[in-house]
Structure 1
Amino acid sequence: MIKKRCQICGKEFVPDKYHPYQKVCSNPSCQHQRQLLNQKRWREKNPDYFKYKEKKTAWERQRAQYLKMWREAHKEYFKEYRKKKSFKEKQKLGASS
């Protein structure tokens, strides 16, 4: 069996037979460290991702009052929607039994 050295703790380990390119041992603390490093690398490669997400949430905050007013004005729409949804769920339950 081929042994490899863990990139986190430095101990030797035998890689999983289904993942021969495994670079980190199965020790939970090493796996946690690997996940943190992967997240850090991903954030470095995708710096704009969170900027767009922040813009979207800012837009949603600005539109909150508009959405609230729209929901108030269209209460009947939601009543119909919920009625149809519950009817479909009852049909599914009846068909599956």
Structure 2
Amino acid sequence: MKKRYCFNCGKELVPPFRNPNQQYCNARECQNARRRLSQKKKMISDPDYKANQKQARTTWCERNPDYYKIYRQKNKDYTERNRILQRERNKRRRASIKPADACPVAKKDAFETINAINSGKYKLIPISDNDPMIAKMDAFIVQLVVINDNSN
């Protein structure tokens, strides 16, 4: 008989198996890993299940509005560690952004050549005067038509 190993911890599975396709041992941590993976797959494959989970999470948050505030107060070391790690992630992200890419909403030199413009419908998005880095949400649909002047 071929030996089988737990997908989570790697320990050898001990027969007899109730389920011939058993892939996880009976350790609590491994069973939790199995359930997490099962739920993740279900969230991807079943839109009704995903919507129900989102609604349940929203309802729970509405019933427990101070939960995260209290949790952070009770777990100061954990909270501080997360803040430090987030600052490091933010620094790495900022360092990886090239100066030309500093504007996250619109590219400065969008058209390298005039031939890059094609006829068609486009969204025209006004940019705020106060903050040129952020585009406004309201957009106009415009029709652009390229006119070639081949008389040269």
Q: TM-score, normalised by structure 1?
A: 0.45
Instruction: Using CA pairs under 8 Å that are at least 6 residues apart, name the structure with larger relative contact order, 1 or 2.
Output: 1
Structure having the higher Rg: 2
User: Which protein has the bigger helix share?
Assistant: 1
